[in-house]
Amino acid sequence: MRKDAEEAISNGERVRFKYFTGSVAVDAYSDEHSLAESGTDLWTSGLFFPMNDNFSSSEDPVLVQQGKAKATDRNMYVTGTVDTSGTWRVGIGSPPREEYALIPGGVQAYYIKGEVVYKRLSLEFLTLGSLAGEP
């Protein structure tokens, strides 16, 4: 099953995972987020699907109803070996033409015999300029 999933995902779009370390400064009026690039970018492949707001899927309608997902958001499938912990952004294309961030609670891992075969990521579209230093 792992080999089949990896083969299907390898036929997807080229994507870049950019990892960050960050901090949040909380004051009386606002929360300030600060991110700094961390480590090396990971280039891999991913399969993309639009966020499904009808009731044929289990997770998408919940995210839409809670206001956590919009029509511009997407689901992406990656191999189980991709690090999805911490803070990261996904750029689609080479060079990246669109950027996405993880919707909180948006990682669903699929296991076989205790091993992660692939992951489903619910991603929020980021407008250009959402990251300091990005075009």
- What does the alpha-carbon distance between residue 107 and residue 120 come to, in Å, rounded to a whole number? 6
Q: Model confidence over 85-133: pLDDT tens digits?
A: 988 999 999 899 999 999 888 899 999 989 999 999 999 998 865 554 4
- What does the alpha-carbon distance between residue 135 and residue 119 come to, in Å, rounded to a whole number? 28
pLDDT at 73: 87
Token pair 């929360």 is found at 31
Other Cβ atoms less than 10 A from the Cβ of 79: the count is: 18
Q: Model confidence over 50-74: pLDDT tens digits?
A: 877 554 556 677 777 777 788 778 9
**Tokens read off for 74:** 């997407």
- Which whole-number Å values give the CA distances from 74 to 21, 32, 46, 99, 102, in the listed order? 24, 26, 11, 11, 10
Instruction: Please confirm whether the linkage preceding 95 is cis (ω < 30° from 0).
Output: yes
Other Cβ atoms less than 10 A from the Cβ of 107: the count is: 14
The pTM of this model reads 0.79
Indicate left, alpha or beta for 122 from its phi (over 0: left) and psi (-120 to 50: alpha): beta
Mean pLDDT in residue range 73-81 = 93
